[in-house]
Every structure is written in C-alpha cells, then in structure tokens.
Amino acid sequence: MIRCQALRWGAPGQPLTPAVEFDLPKGSLTAVVGANGSGKSSLLKVIAGLQKPLSGNVVLDVPRKGGLSFLPQQQHLDRQFPISLQELVAAGFWGSKQSPEIRRERLTAVLEDWCLSGLEQRPLMALSGGELQRALLARLSLAQAPLLLLDEPHAALDELGQALLWKHIHTWHAEGRTLLVVCHDLAAVRQYIPHTLLIKSSGCTLGPSIDLIHQQPQTQVA
C-alpha cells in the first residue's frame, strides 16, 4: 500500500534522515512517532504528494481519485474562511457520485456520530479547537478513502473526543483501510496502534509499538 524507496525529505540541502526504505502493507495501522522537528508531519505531506521529497520516491497502491485522505493539523486551516461547520464537513463528499438524498442522510449521521449535531450553521471562527477537530474528522469519515494519513488527530480533543477518535480509528482499521497516524500520546499508541514507525536523525525503525515506544520519552499531549 505504501512503499518508500531511498526516501529523504526535509528542507533543501537539509535532509532530516539518511535515505530510508520501508513498506506498509494494505490494511495496516501504524503510528509515526519521534522528537519535535524529526519530520513526522512533513513525511505525511510527502506521502500525500503535498511536498516533494529531496530524493527517492513513494509508491502508493491506491486509486488516483479518492484513494487518499489527509488530515492536516488544524493550525493550517484558515478559520476566517466564511463557511459553516456543515459546509466544512460536507467537503468530504468531493468527487462522490451519491444522490443528494443519500448525501443528506450520510451527513446527518456523521454529524451525530461525531457529536456535532446542533452546530451545523456555526462558522469556523466560532468553533472551539475540539469542535473544529471533530469536524475535520467527520469530513474524513465521509471521504471513505482506503488510505488515511492523520497528522496529530488527537490534538485539542477532550476525553469524549479522544474516545470517539479511537473508536473510529478502530472501525476504519477493521474495514481494511490503511492508516498512518502521527501521535504524541505514547500511552495511546501502545494501547491502540499495533505498529510504529520511529523517526530519528539516524533513520527510521518500523516494528511493533510495544517494542519501540520505550525508545521515546513517555509524554502525552492533550
């Protein structure tokens, strides 16, 4: 599903690691962990095709259209953009050929599923960080892509939001989707994510989460 070959990424002339190679099979659930600045978010952008690698390449075994969904960090979203929460979530239908009736039914169900009912017409600037994060995740739920790249999906979520997040990640994984998740909550990685890609300046190590997490300081980001 994801094959990285002799891959280096980072600022021009400043690769974050030596050339690395790893394969993530179809249907796998993998965390990306590492120190701040190690290149976790930029790796996801390279895989998503949003940032060019310095060298090497990424091969994705997914359809060109609708095969990949990327959840960015919400700090990259313009909260002044004049759309409502419902319009933001409905953007997950991009490219869908479903009828308007089915779209309305699915949108209502997804909003309820992420505890967003009643907030449909609220503008982005009026949302709390947790509400906005759940809206971005709800948009992801509508997309139904086989490959999901999630950059710190737990950010800004309270206890309820985190419970919803891990429930959906488990469901998406059970559906056979491939997930790559940047996560700073190492306790959650150990509990919920079977495999980890650990990024260090010396390279990347891929293996069972229970074996790799002890190599990182135990921190938790709300």
Statement: residue 94 has pLDDT above 90: no
Find the helix or strand (DSSP H, E) in which 11 lies.
Answer: strand 10-11
The pTM score is 0.91
First to last CA, the chain: 30
User: In the chain, what are the domain boundaries?
Assistant: 1-23+53-67, 77-144, 187-222
Percent with pLDDT over 70 in the chain? 96
Supply 56's token pair. Answer: 């090497």
Q: Find out whether 77 and 89 touch, Cβ atoms under 8 Å.
A: no
Q: Tell me how far the alpha carbon of residue 82 is from its chain's centroid.
A: 24
Percent with pLDDT over 90 in the chain? 85
Coil, strand, or helix at residue 167? helix
Q: Find out whether 74 and 81 touch, Cβ atoms under 8 Å.
A: no
